[in-house]
Amino acid sequence: MEGSDPFAKDWERMLRKQLAGRGINCPRVLSAMGQVPRHQFVAEGQQHLAYQDQALAIDCGQTISQPYIVASMSQALELSADHLVLEIGTGSGYQAGVLAELAARVITIERHGSLHEAAAGRLAGLGYENITLLLGDGSRGYPEEAPYERIMITAAGRNVPGPIWEQLAEGGILVAPLGGEGVQQLTRIVKRQGKPVSEVLMDCRFVPLVTDAE
């Protein structure tokens, strides 16, 4: 984050008040949130809202999550610099950028072609070389490079899709919003001896996870 950036003051306020002031205490996550310019991922005309603590609409009926949720999900994954991460639901690409600051490599899947292309352009323009963007049904995961030490799902479902669970490594962590329409529960799940050990982090509201089978 450069001081000459016209968004610098709002960006710094986001880090200090919305994140550090609300329990985001991982220095690496705070650093990542300070590296990825959210104003480049929001819809045209909404840049002035980029660093407010709110979700914003993007194309295809999707949203870019509020900064606090992005940071909370990233912190819950307990990422190391050598991790391989699978993200289900690229959306704007903002969350993928944050993950790429924290992990060795990110594979992210988006089902909407226009979102996929726009995110790829943004992330390439910012110089990210450790993100693989795929177009397809995210509920199937990407078995070609499984298992994954960490998985993040950025759309809501009642349960974690079976293929995605199978692709999580033993001892790995998965973070996802679980529940029906309306309010869901942001949940952290650790795979222990093949079984889920779950912890609810907070209530949340995400767009639904849609599969090609629906």
Arithmetic mean of pLDDT, 197-205? 95
Asked if the structure places residue 11 within a domain, the reply is no
pLDDT at residue 214, rounded to an integer: 47
Tell whether pTM > 0.75. yes
Pairing relationship of beta strands 56-57 and 63-64 according to DSSP bridges: antiparallel
- As a whole number, the mean pLDDT across the chain is 95
First to last CA, the chain: 42
Range of the domain at 89: 57-204
- Tell me whether residue 137 is in a domain: yes
1 — pLDDT class (breaks 50, 70, 90): low
What is the pLDDT, as a whole number, of residue 54? 95
Residue 65 bears catalytic tag:
yes
| CA dihedral of residues 169, 174, 113, 119 (deg, nearest 10) | -100
Tell me whether residue 128 is in a domain: yes
> pLDDT tens for residues 133-159?
999 999 999 999 999 999 999 999 999
Which of 65, 72, 74, 139 is flagged as catalytic? 65
Split into its structural domains, the chain has a count of 1
Q: Is 188 left (phi over 0), alpha (psi -120 to 50) or beta?
A: beta
48 in a structural domain: no
73 within domain boundaries: yes
Looking up residue 142, the CATH number of its domain turns out to be 3.40.50.150
Q: What is the pLDDT of residue 213?
A: 53
Report yes or no on 21 lying in a domain: no
pLDDT 10s digits, 40-59: 999 999 999 999 999 999 99
